[in-house]
Structure 1
Amino acid sequence: MNRKYYFNNMWWGWVTGGYMLYMSWDYEFKYRLLFWCISLCGMVLYPVAKWYIEDTALKFTRPDFWNSGFFADTPGKMGLLAVYTGTVFILSLPLSMIYILSV
């Protein structure tokens, strides 16, 4: 991963994290501070986790697999991309820690 990749993918982490912080701003719940800390870490580490997931997926598949069949340009692909973005954000902290420890 390089700086260009990080900065090109950084805004998705900020948008997702900002949305999560905005939605939880007025609610009082027991683990609010922990939730905010995890959201802030996810915002920063999102590009690292995305790169790790893409790199791992491309080790087991070919690039043309991701442009055919279920992943072709259809309306269903947008829903799949939304689920993918949310999954990467949730997994950003553990995957980044695994990546940092393995390097």
Structure 2
Amino acid sequence: MERDATFVQKKAERATLRVHLREKYRLPQSEKDENQIQMAGDDVDLPEDLQKMMADDQVEEEEKNSFLGQIQNIQNMDMDTLKEKATATFTEIKQAAEEKCLLM
């Protein structure tokens, strides 16, 4: 019985982690996960190592979304690639405009 209770608890902890990840990445929820959590008594916490992993990931996401994180992304940008993409986009828009003018 003790082994079964431990097994149910571990399944509920993994289900809780999946629920957190689904919320974070806006994925559809799973009824199976909710059932596993309810079987364990709805009082399921993530183990400390998983809590730490989730917290570290959240801090990293916040740093990337911060103003300084955006500035660092700009500094790491390849300007030649950016110029090529801008030129290609401009050419596509120009061709599309010429095609529309021919139809008129």
Same fold, TM-score > 0.5, yes or no: no
TM-score, with length taken from structure 2: 0.29
TM-score, with length taken from structure 1: 0.30
